[in-house]
Amino acid sequence: MTNEYFENIYKTNYQNEYKRLDSMFDKLYQEARDKKYATELCLGIFSIQILFIKGSIFNKKIFNLLEHNYKLGGDWLSFLNGIPDLKTSYYKEEEFYFEKHPKKREIKIETKKLLGIIPYGIKGINIEEKSHNPYFISSSILDMTNNNEIVAQIAEFKANLDYTDFLVAKYKFLGGVITNETEKSISLSGSDKLIKLKKALENYEMDTFINVLISIFAGISYDIKAKEGYFHAFIQVILDLIGISVISEIETNIGRIDCVAMTSKFIYLFEFKLSDSKIALEQIIKKKYFQKYLADDRQIILVGIAFDSDEKNIKNCLHEIYNK
């Protein structure tokens, strides 16, 4: 395989990812009355992806190697040949770090309480591993052995970085000022919420998932014109950027699924309504959307979510496991 071959892979994947991000932004931007606020909101959502890209020690090493290789006149082939040694070096550094900084155990005793106030017995004991871990954010490239996939992933990373820079420029053009306080506000109330959101789907913790979404929607300006499609697009953008496989408007033989989100253990079938979650859940069951995924070994979760366009938030949610 030639350098031109990998260059084409990079350009194609970069352009496709940039267009995808632009399409996501445009869906929210066009619906908004306050364009500056919509840009700030999207900048907050997109910055979460940047957190995972820039927060990975290995990703930093990858970009440093790419820049070093370019400055010395190298090409894609010489860069890719250097990745195995880079991985070996990274794993040795990670191992050395944990030898010097062992994890600390923190024991928490949860007590039973009378009237929710007076402790009267032990409910459970939790042992948690606590340590500052600079290696907490990993990199998808670490698990890749195919050079095509590695180049494509780097292209997507670069498109995310560049598109976020574009949003910053657009935000400033619309009158926004990037200050320390702005950086805090566009973090979407902190990355912890997004991490919770991802873990909730990975472990089928729907109460947590919905509560985090409610918290996020609570920060939306009352001036935004909120329709069903707006909520739908907003949720898809968030799930996509935190690494959940998500596809919208999936056609079946008797209908169209609003949204399908997949984790390693679960397949979530979402139906969104501005009326009631019961109606949404009944539609999934009536139109047998689950049939499309019966051959999959993962558990199928049916989820109906209703939105309140006046309060611009989730009204209620019903969900259940489909028993195959």
For residue 190, the model assigns a pLDDT of: 46
Query: Quick one: 299 and 161 in the same domain?
Result: no
> In the predicted model, is pLDDT for residue 128 greater than 80?
no
Q: What is the mean pLDDT of the chain?
A: 79
Between residues 197 and 151, which one has the greater pLDDT?
A: 151
Query: Quick one: 242 and 322 in the same domain?
Result: yes
pLDDT of 55-101, one tens digit each? 789 999 999 999 998 888 889 999 999 999 999 999 999 888 877 76
Of 102-116, 187-201, 260-274, 301-315, highest mean pLDDT: 260-274
Query: Quick one: 107 and 207 in the same domain?
Result: no
Q: Would you say residue 135 lies in a domain?
A: no
Domain that holds residue 164: 1-97+142-187
Query: Quick one: 225 and 197 in the same domain?
Result: yes
Q: Would you say residue 137 lies in a domain?
A: no
Q: Would you say residue 221 lies in a domain?
A: yes
Query: Quick one: 156 and 264 in the same domain?
Result: no
For residue 115, the model assigns a pLDDT of: 45
- Mean pLDDT lowest among 18-27, 41-50, 163-172, 213-222: 213-222
Query: Quick one: 203 and 322 in the same domain?
Result: yes
Query: Quick one: 171 and 217 in the same domain?
Result: no
Q: What is the CATH classification number for the domain harbouring 224?
A: 3.40.1350
For residue 116, the model assigns a pLDDT of: 46
Domain count, the chain: 3
Query: Quick one: 161 and 75 in the same domain?
Result: yes
Average pLDDT over residues 35-48: 76
pLDDT of 239-250, one tens digit each? 876 778 888 888
Query: Quick one: 319 and 291 in the same domain?
Result: yes
Q: Would you say residue 305 lies in a domain?
A: yes
pLDDT band with cut points at 50, 70 and 90 for residue 178: low
pLDDT band with cut points at 50, 70 and 90 for residue 233: confident
For residue 167, the model assigns a pLDDT of: 84
For residue 140, the model assigns a pLDDT of: 87
Q: Would you say residue 136 lies in a domain?
A: no
Supply the pTM of this predicted model. 0.54
Q: What percent of the chain has pLDDT over 90?
A: 27
- Mean pLDDT lowest among 106-120, 139-153, 158-172: 106-120
> In the predicted model, is pLDDT for residue 106 greater than 60?
no
Query: Quick one: 48 and 170 in the same domain?
Result: yes
Q: Would you say residue 23 lies in a domain?
A: yes
Query: Quick one: 80 and 112 in the same domain?
Result: no
pLDDT of 275-290, one tens digit each? 788 999 998 998 898 8
Average pLDDT over residues 114-126: 46
pLDDT of 188-212, one tens digit each? 444 566 777 888 899 999 888 888 8
Query: Quick one: 115 and 11 in the same domain?
Result: no
Between residues 168 and 153, which one has the greater pLDDT?
A: 153
For residue 229, the model assigns a pLDDT of: 63
> In the predicted model, is pLDDT for residue 114 greater than 70?
no
Q: Would you say residue 281 lies in a domain?
A: yes
For residue 274, the model assigns a pLDDT of: 82
DSSP collapsed to 3 states, the chain: CCHHHHHHHHHHHHHHHHHHHHHHHHHHHHHCCCHHHHHHHHHHHHHHHHHHHHCCHHHHHHHHHHHHHHHCCCCHHHHHHCHHHHHHHHHHHHHHHHHHCCCEEEEEEEEEEECCCEEEEEEEEEEEEECCCCCCCCCHHHHCCCHHHHHHHHHHHHHHHHHHHHHHHHHHHCCCCCCHHHHHHCCCCCHHHHHHHHHHHHCCCHHHHHHHHHHHHCCCCCCCCCCHHHHHHHHHHHHHHCCCEEEEEEECCCCEEEEEEECCCEEEEEEEECCCHHHHHHHHHHCCHHHHHCCCCCEEEEEEEEEECCCCEEEEEEEEEECC
Q: Would you say residue 170 lies in a domain?
A: yes
